[in-house]
Chain A
Amino acid sequence: MTIIDTRLPDPKRLISGATGEWEVIVGMEIHAQISSHAKLFSGASTAFGAEPNSNVSLVDAAMPGMLPVINEECVRQAIRTGLGLKAQINHRSIFDRKNYFYPDLPQGYQISQYKQPIVGEGVVIVSVGPAKDGSFEEIEVGIERLHLEQDAGKSMHDQHPTMSYVDLNRSGVALMEIVSKPDIRSSDEAKAFLTKLRTILRYLGTCDGNMDEGSMRADVNVSVRRPGAPFGTRCEIKNVNSIRFVGQSIESEARRQIAILEDGGTIDQETRLFDPAKGETRSMRSKEEAHDYRYFPDPDLVPLEFDQAYVDALAQHLPELPDEKKARFMEKLGLSEYDASVLVSEKAVADYFEKVAEGRDGKAAANWVINDLLGALNKAGKDIENTPVSPDQLGAIIDLIKDGTISGKIAKDLFEIVFSEGGNPGVLVEERGMKQVTDAGAIEKAVDDVIAANPDKVEQVKAKPTLAGWFVGQVMKATGGKANPQAVNVLVKEKLGIDG
Chain B
Amino acid sequence: MTDLSLTELTIADARAKLRAGEVSAVELTDTYLAAIDAANEKLNAYVAVTADKARQMAAASDARIARGEAGALEGIPLGIKDLFATEGVHTQAASHILDGFKPRYESTVTANLWADGAVMLGKLNMDEFAMGSSNETSYYGPVINPWRAEGSNTDLVPGGSSGGSAAAVAAWLCAGATATDTGGSIRQPAALTGTVGIKPTYGRCSRWGTVAFASSLDQAGPIARDVRDAAILLKSMASVDPKDTTSVDLPVPDYEGAVGQSIRGLKIGIPKEYRIDGMPQEIETLWQKGVDWMRDAGAEIVEISLPHTKYALPAYYIVAPAEASSNLARYDGVRYGLRVAGKDITDMYEKTRAAGFGDEVKRRIMIGTYVLSAGYYDAYYLRAQKVRTLIKRDFEQVFEAGVDAILTPATPSAAFGVADQDMAADPVKMYLNDIFTVTVNMAGLPGIAVPAGLDAKGLPLGLQLIGRPFDEETLFRTGHVIEQAAGRFSPKRWW
Q: Contact at B243–A67, with CB atoms within 8 Å?
A: yes
Q: Which B residues touch A66, using CB under 8 A? A: 208-209
Q: Contact at A107–B245, with CB atoms within 8 Å?
A: no
| Contact pattern, A 300-319, Cβ under 8 Å of B = 1, otherwise 0 | 11100000000000000000
Chain B: minimal CB distance from A320 (Å): 35
Q: Given contacts A101-B332, A299-B214, A302-B245, are A64 and B101 in contact (CB under 8 A)?
A: yes
Q: Contact at B329–A107, with CB atoms within 8 Å?
A: yes
Find A58's partner among B105, B244, B326, B377 (CB 8 Å cutoff).
Answer: B105
Q: Given contacts A63-B103, A108-B329, are A296 and B372 in contact (CB under 8 A)?
A: yes
**Chain A: interface secondary structure?**
loop
Bound-complex Cα distance A300 to B246 (A): 7
| Contact pattern, B 318-337, Cβ under 8 Å of A = 1, otherwise 0 | 00001101101110101110
Give the tally of cross-chain contacts (CB within 8 A): 97
Q: Contact at B377–A109, with CB atoms within 8 Å?
A: no
Q: Contact at A299–B330, with CB atoms within 8 Å?
A: no
Chain B: minimal CB distance from A9 (Å): 35
Q: Contact at A63–B329, with CB atoms within 8 Å?
A: no
Closest to B83 in A: A65
Q: Contact at A64–B93, with CB atoms within 8 Å?
A: yes
**Which of A58, A99, A299, A301 lies at the interface centre, i.e. has the most chain B CB atoms within 10 A of its CB?**
A299
Q: Given contacts A296-B377, A299-B214, are A64 and B91 in contact (CB under 8 A)?
A: yes
Bound-complex Cα distance A294 to B327 (A): 13
Chain B: minimal CB distance from A152 (Å): 13
Say yes or no for A69: interface residue by CB 8 A criterion: yes
| Contact pattern, A 156-187, Cβ under 8 Å of B = 1, otherwise 0 | 00000000101000000000000000000000
Bound-complex Cα distance A64 to B105 (A): 10
Q: Contact at B215–A299, with CB atoms within 8 Å?
A: yes
Bound-complex Cα distance A299 to B207 (A): 12
Q: Which A residues touch B84, using CB under 8 A? A: 65
Q: Given contacts A64-B98, A65-B212, A108-B332, are A294 and B243 in contact (CB under 8 A)?
A: no
Say yes or no for B476: interface residue by CB 8 A criterion: no
Bound-complex Cα distance A294 to B103 (A): 29
Find A301's partner among B242, B245, B325, B332 (CB 8 Å cutoff).
Answer: B245
Bound-complex Cα distance A65 to B93 (A): 11
**Chain B: interface secondary structure?**
loop
Chain A: minimal CB distance from B96 (Å): 14
Q: Which A residues touch B209, using CB under 8 A? A: 65-66
Bound-complex Cα distance A133 to B275 (A): 86
Say yes or no for B135: interface residue by CB 8 A criterion: no
Bound-complex Cα distance A68 to B327 (A): 13
Q: Contact at B334–A166, with CB atoms within 8 Å?
A: yes
Closest to A100 in B: B329
Find A300's partner among B105, B211, B215, B377 (CB 8 Å cutoff).
Answer: B215
Q: Contact at A292–B215, with CB atoms within 8 Å?
A: no
Interface footprint category on B:
35 or more
Q: Contact at B336–A99, with CB atoms within 8 Å?
A: no
Say yes or no for B374: interface residue by CB 8 A criterion: yes
Bound-complex Cα distance A62 to B326 (A): 12
Say yes or no for A374: interface residue by CB 8 A criterion: no
Say yes or no for B196: interface residue by CB 8 A criterion: no
Say yes or no for A347: interface residue by CB 8 A criterion: no
| Contact pattern, A 309-346, Cβ under 8 Å of B = 1, otherwise 0 | 00000000000000000000000000000000000000
Say yes or no for A429: interface residue by CB 8 A criterion: no
Bound-complex Cα distance A390 to B75 (A): 70
Q: Contact at B245–A67, with CB atoms within 8 Å?
A: yes
Q: Which A residues touch B288, using CB under 8 A? A: none
Find A64's partner among B103, B216, B325, B345 (CB 8 Å cutoff).
Answer: B103
Q: Given contacts A65-B211, A107-B330, are A101 and B381 in contact (CB under 8 A)?
A: no
Find A106's partner among B214, B335, B349, B372 (CB 8 Å cutoff).
Answer: B335
Q: Which A residues touch B377, using CB under 8 A? A: 294-296
Bound-complex Cα distance A108 to B332 (A): 8
Which B residues between 224 and 255 are near A, CB-CB below 8 angstroms?
242-246
Q: Which B residues touch A145, using CB under 8 A? A: none
Bound-complex Cα distance A61 to B210 (A): 16
Say yes or no for B107: interface residue by CB 8 A criterion: yes
Say yes or no for A227: interface residue by CB 8 A criterion: no
| Contact pattern, B 338-353, Cβ under 8 Å of A = 1, otherwise 0 | 0000000110010000
Q: Which B residues touch A68, using CB under 8 A? A: 245
* 7 residue pairs, one from A and one from B, having the closest CB atoms: A108-B329, A299-B216, A294-B372, A299-B215, A62-B330, A65-B209, A64-B211
Apart from A65-B84, A65-B107, A299-B215, list 12 A-B contacts with CB within 8 A.
A64-B91, A64-B101, A65-B210, A70-B245, A101-B332, A101-B346, A106-B334, A108-B329, A108-B330, A296-B326, A299-B246, A300-B245
**Interface residue ranges, B against A (CB under 8 Å):** 84-85, 91, 93, 98, 101, 103, 105, 107, 207-212, 214-216, 242-246, 322-323, 325-326, 328-330, 332, 334-336, 345-346, 349, 369, 372-374, 377, 381
Task: Pull 28 A–B residue pairs with CB atoms less than 8 Å apart, ordered by A.
Answer: A61-B335, A62-B330, A62-B335, A63-B336, A64-B103, A64-B211, A65-B84, A65-B85, A65-B207, A66-B208, A66-B209, A67-B208, A67-B244, A67-B245, A68-B245, A103-B334, A106-B330, A107-B329, A107-B330, A108-B328, A108-B329, A296-B323, A299-B214, A299-B216, A299-B323, A301-B245, A301-B246, A302-B245
